[in-house]
Amino acid sequence: MAILLLTFACPVDVWAQEAVPAAIERAGPVSPEQRAELYRQLAAHAEVLRAQSAVVKTVAKLIGPTVVHIEADVTTQSQYGRGRQVEEAGSGVIIEMAGKYYVLTNRHVIRGATTEGIKINLANGRRIHPVKVWEDPDTDIAVMSLVEQGLVAAPLGDSGKLEIGDFVLAVGSPFGLSHSVTYGIISAKGRRDLQLGDSSVRFQDFLQTDAAINPGNSGGPLVDLQGKVIGINTAIASNSGGNEGIGFAIPIDMYMVIARQLIAEGKVSRAFLGVNLDSKFGPAMATELGLPCPVGARITGITKGAPAEATDLQIGDVILEFNNIPIEDDAHLVNLVGLTKIGTSVPLVVYRDRKAFRITVAVGDRSEFNPPR
């Protein structure tokens, strides 16, 4: 092992004299006057942290009664074809719409269970069952209606106003530990093309957070510092199966578009533009087309008879905006179209021959071109 000899610009005796007080302070012995001053400083600094902590504690008290622990008895098929009863567990949050109560959760928490096989454990210890369940496999969203009255409901926030760095709390039942609260920030927005286990969630626009999310948190709320639900916790990225600081939640704006359709119509109707998109559109192609960076969605094909065919859209065009929203990539466009009301006339900004221009297209019904699963 090499030993490095350190040299100093100042004489050793001077350096030693300056270092001695610091060394004594690090070791602990200080005068009573110094200790009193340190305690005074500590009290002033702690006051700031107490004020911040009070916000978190208040949010936790407000959101706690609205969060439920869910147990679902599910029958699965073994490799030999025999049915096997297993119990899935997760979380949910109670909301109120038009005087009725509903529980928001993830589809994978209750998938395959009957209403009688779904146990909803309230914060006060009561156990109830839903009277009706709606599911959307394409977004991993599930909504359950309740007949009970006098429940505590969570207010909904606006996930569209979230910014990276905003503080959030995740509430749920990780590993069956009901009403656990973790704290973190929004790490990223618009996470798409995630491989979520064996499921195939087609429409993704996840919020990413470093608030600890573990198995059992699925379906629980992600809330802001106003105590409003801004997301539904859904998945984690992990090599160990536990929290590694990368969790994902469905934005509440997106969630409620689906939830309201499920409650009102019993199904989700999705809009359709009718274009095939280039998933490999990148910097090289963007430069070739004259774009400063690979933004937008490049068209590689147009479906016969689809709304896009009735417009001026052409193969090779790049859609830069959809309904006044800048398009990040092909998955972003697919997601926005899928959440648009059928028949809506939507403005587009299209890039062609190094120029941008506007057109309008009335989106059609996806089920007419691509039957739902």
Q: What residues act catalytically?
A: 108, 140, 218
339 CB-near residues (< 8 Å, 6+ apart): 203, 254, 257, 258, 270, 271
> Cα separation of 132 and 115, whole Å?
7
8 A C-beta contact, residue 6 and residue 15? no
Cα dist from 53 to 21, 172, 311, 318, 366, whole Å: 35, 20, 55, 48, 48
Which of 139, 181, 190, 142 is closest to 163 using CA atoms?
Answer: 190
The pair of three-digit structure tokens given for residue 286, joined into one six-digit string? 């963007």
Among candidates 73, 105, 107, which has minimal Cα distance to 92?
105
Given a contact cutoff of 8 angstroms between Cβ atoms, the answer to whether 297 and 291 are in contact is no
Instruction: Tell me how crowded residue 85 is: count the other CB atoms within 10 A of its CB.
Output: 9
Could you tell me if 157 and 166 are in contact, meaning their C-beta atoms sit under 8 angstroms apart? Answer: no
CA distance 215 to 369: 37
CB–CB of 350/320 below 8 Å? yes
Helical ranges in the chain per DSSP H: 12-27, 32-63, 107-110, 252-265, 283-289, 330-338
